[in-house]
Amino acid sequence: MKPTRLIIVAVGGQGNLLASRVIGEAALMADVPVRMSEIHGMAQRGGVVESSIVFGDAQSTIISDGEADVLVGFEPSETLRALNKCHPGTVVISNLAPLSPFTVTVGNGIYPELKVIQSLIRSKTAKLIAFNAESMAREAGNILSVNMVLLGALIQTGKIPLTRETVKEAIRTKTKKVFVETNLKAFELGFSTADSMA
């Protein structure tokens, strides 16, 4: 199986490690070769968190600049920051709900306009699917399920070798019981949103 490389970027606390875990467990269920890498520790204190997931015949667990086939950004400015990981054929999925970094609050830097972020990404990559995943998570009943919304959108693109059913099974069996229902709802909302934008 030809390698497919996926990068997920988020702000510490947005639940990208759980999203990666669900993807990994789904790959295990579907017998898809998978290797992943993530950064723990100091980077988690409100900083940027990045996971890389490589499917198929490759041994590396990390992804070099310009080599991600799919990029999922949990926060719009972080999606833009990770553009160096993309190539012209990359499919990008991004949340549009900003989490303004504290540097902006204290006047060190300006948060780029959402319109600018989207047009930049769109002009440089194959496709951008962008929407407010936070409001959808709220609609699903748990604001912390942004990760599942974006996971739904990711699976809809068909860009990674996992099916909707397998991922839902992974959510059912590998996320906390009390959240399974809202997680599945969030996943479906993300899936259908991406579908309607296709």
Partner 1 sequence: MHKLLTRQPGLKMLLLGNEAIARGGLEAGVAVSTTYPGTPSSEISSNFFQISQESKLYFEYSTNEKVALEVAAAAANSGVRSMCIMKHVGMNVAADALLTLAYVGVRGGLVILTADDPFMFSSQNEQDNRFYSKLAGLPMMEPSSAQEAKDMLRDAFDLSEELQLPVIFRTTTRINHSSEIVSLGELRDPKTTGDFVKDPFNYVTVPAVSRNLHAKLLEKLDKAETLSENSKYNMIAGKGSWGIICNGVSYNYVCDGIKELGIQNSTRILRVGFSHPMPRILIRTFLEECEKVLIVEEGEPYMEETVKAFAQEAGLTLSIGGKGDGCLSRLYEYDPAQVRESLGEYFGVDYAPRDGIDLSDVPEIPQRPPSLCAGCSHRATFYAVNKAAEGMDTICPTDIGCYTLGFLPPLSTGDFLICMGSSVGTSCGFSKVSDKKVISFIGDSTFFHTGIPGLVNAVFNSHNFTLVILDNGITAMTGHQPHPGVDMKAMNFEGYGQVSIEDVVKAVGVKHVSVIRPYRVKKSVDTIKEALMYKGVSVVISQEPCMLFAKALKKPRRKPFFVSDKCKGDKDCINDLACPAFYIRKNRVYIDPVLCSGCSVCAQICPEHAILPLKDKA
Residues at the interface with partner 1 (CB under 8 A): 11-12, 20-21, 24-25, 27-28, 33-48, 58-67, 77-78, 80-81, 83-84, 86-88, 100-106, 108-112, 116, 120, 124-125
177 vs 181: CA distance, rounded Å: 8
Residue 35 CB, shortest distance to partner 1, in Å, is: 5
- Phi (first) and psi of residue 90, to 5 degrees: -70, 140
3 state DSSP class of 1:
coil
Minimum Å gap between C-beta 190 and partner 1 is 22
Q: How far is the CB of 196 from partner 1 (least distance, A)?
A: 27
**Which C-beta is closer to partner 1: that of 65 or that of 165?**
65
> What gap in Å lies between CA 57 and CA 14, rounded to an integer?
30
> Helices (H), strands (E): how many in the chain?
8, 6
Q: How far is the CB of 112 from partner 1 (least distance, A)?
A: 5
Contact 10, 71 (CB under 8 A): no
For residues 197 and 93, is the Cβ–Cβ distance under 8 A?
Answer: no
H or E segment and range at residue 7: strand 4-11
Q: How far apart are CA 36 and CA 172, in angstroms?
A: 21
Residue 77 or residue 166: which is nearer to partner 1 going by CB?
A: 77
User: Least CB distance from residue 181 to partner 1, whole Å?
Assistant: 22
102/176 with CB nearer partner 1: 102
Strands 4-11 and 48-55: antiparallel
Residue with smaller CB distance to partner 1, 81 or 164: 81
Nearer to partner 1, 47 or 195 (CB): 47
